Amino acid sequence: MIEGITAIGFLVVLASLLGVILAVANARLKIFEDPRIDKVQEMLPGTNCGACGMPGCRVFAEQAVAGAIQPSQCRVGGPETAAIVAGYLGVDAGDVEKEVARLMCAGGTNVAIQMAEYVGYPTCQSATAVAGGGKGCRYGCLGFGDCKAVCDFDAIVMSPTGLPVIDPDKCTACGACVEICPKKLIELRPLKQRLLVQCKSELAGDGILALCKVACTACGKCVADAPPGLLKMKKNLPVITDELIHLQARDATLRCPTGAITWLNDQTSAVAKKEPDHVV
């Protein structure tokens, strides 16, 4: 009986001692977390899209509080969210140039031929894995809408010709559509950029026109007509020098025989495409 009471007493004392040790250890080893992090996280959209370069909104909040990034780097939140976060933290919101997703292919069903019928799971990634999806131009958009499916902001709709149409007003430049496209046909470009090369075919010559009427033939006329250095031919395609985008001019599009290089009518919407001279 006495032994039992002694054992119980020993366990009580031991438990109390361990409790004190844990309490002291917790107090000394506890990592302080700035309470502002929770507040900033509540101000963010909470989409965890990664457009800011961070793995999620929580990490963005931590970095913003630490002063490692600017509030304006939250592209989804936009200027309003940036202003709220900056006001709370007492810092400058910063100025990050707005970007939007742009489709670099104009080969819809009205101008590009289909070489074979794809029968299988209706996604671009699946079709690409099966002989390229059956489209004549192996570089072109397959039109199954993987990009539309991953857009959390309803910024993408599919056109009657099977091409995604991106609404720049809704696009947050999160990059989800860029990552999902197996042909790498969607790019994030500055909103101010009005000159676009809407073709990714690396085939030179008029032979490509048998597959797509609006394909680039690598004729080089756009390079010759553009301001010096703005365009350079790489892999049979004109490539825009980003550092010289301020030199962009519509002159580069005027002699394009197919309309592969285009000029936006304004910074947010329609593309001014000339009719191709070649009809196949």
Note the pTM of the prediction, 2 decimals. 0.78
Residue 279, pLDDT > 60, answer no
Task: Determine, yes or no, domain membership for 61.
Answer: yes
CATH of the domain at 240: 3.30.70
Task: Return the exposure string of 102-137: e unless at least 16 CB atoms fall within 10 Å of the residue's CB, then b.
Answer: bbbbbbbeebbebeeebeeeebbebbbeeebbbbbb
Q: What is the mean pLDDT of residues 208-220?
A: 96
Same domain, 130 and 163: yes
Output the pLDDT for position 25.
67
Helix (H) or strand (E) holding 57: helix 57-66
Residue 5 lies in a domain: no
Provide the domain count of the chain.
Answer: 3
Does 145 score more than 50 pLDDT? yes
Could you give the CA distance from residue 269 to residue 76 in angstroms, rounded to a whole number? 19
Sequence-ordered alpha helix ranges (H) in 151-262:
176-180, 221-225
69 and 111 in a single domain? The answer is: no
Give me the sign of the Cα torsion angle 52, 56, 57, 60: negative
- Provide the 10 A C-beta neighbour count for residue 215: 31
Same domain, 71 and 130: no
Amino acid occupying residue 221: K
* CATH code where residue 175 lies: 3.30.70.20
Q: Tell me, yes or no, whether 177 and 202 share the same domain.
A: no
Q: Helix, strand, or coil here: 169? A: coil
pLDDT, tens only, 91-138: 998 887 889 999 999 999 999 999 988 988 999 999 999 878 889 999
Asked if residue 136 and residue 118 are part of one domain, the reply reads yes
